[in-house]
Structure 1
Amino acid sequence: MNQPKRFISWLFAGIFASFAIAACTTPQGDTSGTAQLTLVSYAVTQRAYENIIPKFAQEWEAKTGQRVEFNQSYAGSGSQTRAVIDGLEADIVALALALDTQRIEEAGLIEPGWEDELPNGSIVHKSVAALVKRDENINVEKWSDLARDDIQVVTANPKTSGGARWNFLALWGAVTQAGGSEAEALEFVEAVFKNVPVLPKDARESTDVFYHQGQGNILINYENEVILAAQQGDVKPYVIPTDYNISIDNPVTLVDVNVDKHGTREVAQAFVEFLFTPDAQREFAKVGFRPVDETVASEFAVQYPQVDNLFTVTDLGGWDAIQAKFFDDGAVFDQVLAKVGKS
């Protein structure tokens, strides 16, 4: 008499387990219900993404019938990189520099070759370096002016700030890309850092040191940050060195381990592809980023001065070589600080 009861109990247990497994496993490409995506980016992109996300969500629902909701996280690029490596389950990362994305790749969360999976080497928008003046009376127009004795320069520390590495590379490349030797570049960089009164840990702190603590009369910043600050009512005179400048390239990619874990690869891939469309590119351009879409770039040409010689990280050897040469312990930057007495 007990055997049929046991059989029925096992049968119901098996059916329940099958339903539980089915409920916990979302087939790739399933467009029912609501998809949840986590976007991790750096602080100054927030305003653009808050305008882009509703456009994508509307388009995706019209196309597939599936709603999509975003969890969004914005902070310094280096901090966001560490957070993702330490367990923040981002589906998409949009960081300030490819070196940060490479670190997530090295942690085993992003598959190699991510640069080739989207247009333009996965660079979704760009910027250039800008020199923000304390006031209009400061006669600074080009990089070489920063070595003058009457100039004090505020820039973040590239040892602790990923973004500040762009500043250092802009200074170095302004010499080497113009045909100068590395010895001449080193001499120039030393002269500039001799004029640096303090090295804040990140771009946000360097902005605070300049604007609120009143240190320095020139701040090396990014064009997009200056434009965004002006839109928010904080207008400062600035100049874009147009003889030589560095292309500050900002990548986007999927975090492969997480999209596969969450079953969100299809919708996440659609979102990152949407970022390269004219609709999304215009939103980036509106808040100060140089768009990678040529048609949109032409629409905003007045806003962005043309740089005669725009060099890239590739021109300087690529991030792996740059990190080893300039920013590892004991490398060029440490030698510069020791030479100017700031180590």
Structure 2
Amino acid sequence: MTTVRSFVFTGLAAAALAACSPQSEQKSANGSADASGKDVKLMNVSYDVARDFYKEYNPLFVKEYKAKNGGAEIDIQQSHGGSSKQALAVSNGLQADVVTMNQTSDIQLLEKKGLVKAGWTSRLPDNAVPFTSTTVFLVRKGNPKQVKDWADLAKDGVQLVIANPKTSGNGRYAFLGAYGYGMKANGGDEAKAAEFTAKMLKNAPVLENGGRAATTTFAQRNIGDVLITFENEANHVSRKLAPGQFEIVYPSYTILSENPVAVVDSVAGKKGTQAAAAEYLKYLWSEPAQELAAKFYLRPQNKTVAEKHKADFPAMETFRPEDVFGNWDAIAKKFFADGALFDKLATGSKTAK
């Protein structure tokens, strides 16, 4: 059942979004030393809309690390951008100690390159996924286009803002969510699902480089009728950055996005940061970190924390992309490789510069 939530885009909010421009690199100047007295610096390479969570998580972890390591300090640097672009950057030499992505395929790429050791999903709970999200729609106050579900996104006169699935996990989930809905609505008929998705993409004339860039275009530049994005990003904008100006539409059937994390073994091994990197990721499952995830509208894995915040997370019918389309290698080959289905369907769209 579709749910709509109401939440005024102020100059303050615009400034906040501008400060969070995509593909920037943020640093936490917290000092650094491990228990042996050797300086420790970690680089966390992550997807763009996670910047707000890690901005608060890093000081939380630094405090915990100091308490557990005799007052030792640690410096954590952040790099954010479209998830797939970030994975490629690490593959091409960006010295990440850890990666915190929004799709398993990005870490699998690093595993294939020999940067992350096999078995990384078994090193942490929940297959190394500390929290999840899902794809929803952000519309303007009053929902002037009366968008209730995916089908409405393919109607004439509805302008969409979406991240580019070729470079962004956010956009990839949006595309797969639409295609999965099209399959379900048409009894599994993929030809009809493709037809529906092509119509929807025609309403998105420009594909932004990443999820935060799409948010900025929609909320700050006031372009478009609907932003297709992660639930946590939609809540962050509508409740915190611009309360009163937007509403969230929860579609009847949508895609589950998992947010896997891993140590980049090749880099951490070379730098001698394996222990600190492992601690950094493990702490994501702590109650304080899970509470922080809920604060940023990421669905926590901790059942107690999730129950405490269930009013913020409406029950939804979701699907895992692997359960519908096969593993991520198959998904990439079928949908997102050069000349694959996305390229064929998105003939009317262009990538933002």
TM-score, with normalisation over the residues of structure 2? Answer: 0.81
Going from structure 1 to structure 2, the CA distance change for 1:148 and 1:165 (only over 3 Å counts) comes to: same
Question: Aligned-pair distance for 1:280?
Answer: 0.7
1:53 aligns with 2:58: yes
Match of 1:200 in 2: 208
Match of 1:330 in 2: 339
Aligned equivalents of 1:115, 1:164: Cα separation in 2: 24
Aligned equivalents of 1:280, 1:120: Cα separation in 2: 15
In structure 1, runs of 5+ residues without a counterpart are 1-29
1:40 aligns with 2:45: yes
Aligned equivalents of 2:345, 2:253: Cα separation in 1: 22
TM-score, with normalisation over the residues of structure 1? Answer: 0.83
1:274 aligns with 2:274: no
1:132 aligns with 2:138: yes
Going from structure 1 to structure 2, the CA distance change for 1:199 and 1:341 (only over 3 Å counts) comes to: closer
1:73 aligns with 2:78: yes
Question: Aligned-pair distance for 1:181?
Answer: 1.4
Any runs of at least 4 consecutive aligned residues in structure 1 with deviations exceeding 6 A, and if so which?
none
Aligned equivalents of 1:342, 1:273: Cα separation in 2: 40
Aligned equivalents of 2:301, 2:121: Cα separation in 1: 15
2:254 match: secondary structure:
strand
One-letter code aligned to 1:222 = F
Aligned equivalents of 1:287, 1:101: Cα separation in 2: 23
130, 141, 154: which one pairs with 1:147? Answer: 154
Aligned equivalents of 2:140, 2:238: Cα separation in 1: 14
1:115 aligns with 2:121: yes
Question: Aligned-pair distance for 1:231?
Answer: 4.4
Match of 1:223 in 2: 231
Going from structure 1 to structure 2, the CA distance change for 1:267 and 1:305 (only over 3 Å counts) comes to: same
Match of 1:169 in 2: 176
Contact kept, 8 Å, 2:232 with 2:298, in 1: the verdict is yes
Contact kept, 8 Å, 1:147 with 1:188, in 2: the verdict is yes
Match of 1:100 in 2: 106
Question: Aligned-pair distance for 1:263?
Answer: 1.6
Aligned equivalents of 1:291, 1:319: Cα separation in 2: 23
Aligned equivalents of 1:131, 1:163: Cα separation in 2: 12
Question: Aligned-pair distance for 1:144?
Answer: 1.1
1:31 aligns with 2:58: no
One-letter code aligned to 1:326 = F
Going from structure 1 to structure 2, the CA distance change for 1:230 and 1:70 (only over 3 Å counts) comes to: farther
Aligned equivalents of 1:246, 1:131: Cα separation in 2: 12
One-letter code aligned to 2:276 = V
Contact kept, 8 Å, 2:164 with 2:171, in 1: the verdict is yes
Alignment length (residue pairs): 312
2:259 match: secondary structure:
strand
Identity among equivalent pairs (%): 37
One-letter code aligned to 1:143 = W
Question: Aligned-pair distance for 1:329?
Answer: 1.5
Question: Aligned-pair distance for 1:247?
Answer: 0.8
In structure 2, runs of 5+ residues without a counterpart are 1-33
Contact kept, 8 Å, 2:41 with 2:77, in 1: the verdict is no
Contact kept, 8 Å, 2:160 with 2:228, in 1: the verdict is yes
Question: Aligned-pair distance for 1:63?
Answer: 2.9
Going from structure 1 to structure 2, the CA distance change for 1:334 and 1:38 (only over 3 Å counts) comes to: closer
1:219 match: secondary structure:
strand
One-letter code aligned to 1:162 = G
Question: Aligned-pair distance for 1:296?
Answer: 1.0
Structure whose CA Rg is larger: 1
Contact kept, 8 Å, 2:205 with 2:350, in 1: the verdict is no
* Segment drifting more, 263-272 vs 197-206: 197-206
One-letter code aligned to 2:281 = V
Aligned equivalents of 1:125, 1:91: Cα separation in 2: 20
Aligned equivalents of 2:67, 2:76: Cα separation in 1: 21
Question: Aligned-pair distance for 1:212?
Answer: 4.0
Aligned equivalents of 2:209, 2:43: Cα separation in 1: 27
1:163 match: secondary structure:
helix
* Segment drifting more, 259-268 vs 31-40: 31-40
1:301 aligns with 2:349: no
1:96 match: secondary structure:
coil
RCO comparison, higher one (Cα < 8 Å, 6+): 2
Going from structure 1 to structure 2, the CA distance change for 1:66 and 1:257 (only over 3 Å counts) comes to: farther
One-letter code aligned to 2:343 = D
Question: CA RMSD of the aligned region, Å?
Answer: 2.2
Question: Aligned-pair distance for 1:244?
Answer: 0.7
Question: Aligned-pair distance for 1:60?
Answer: 3.1
Aligned equivalents of 1:210, 1:85: Cα separation in 2: 31
Contact kept, 8 Å, 1:36 with 1:68, in 2: the verdict is no
Aligned equivalents of 1:341, 1:90: Cα separation in 2: 33
One-letter code aligned to 1:54 = P
Contact kept, 8 Å, 2:207 with 2:349, in 1: the verdict is no
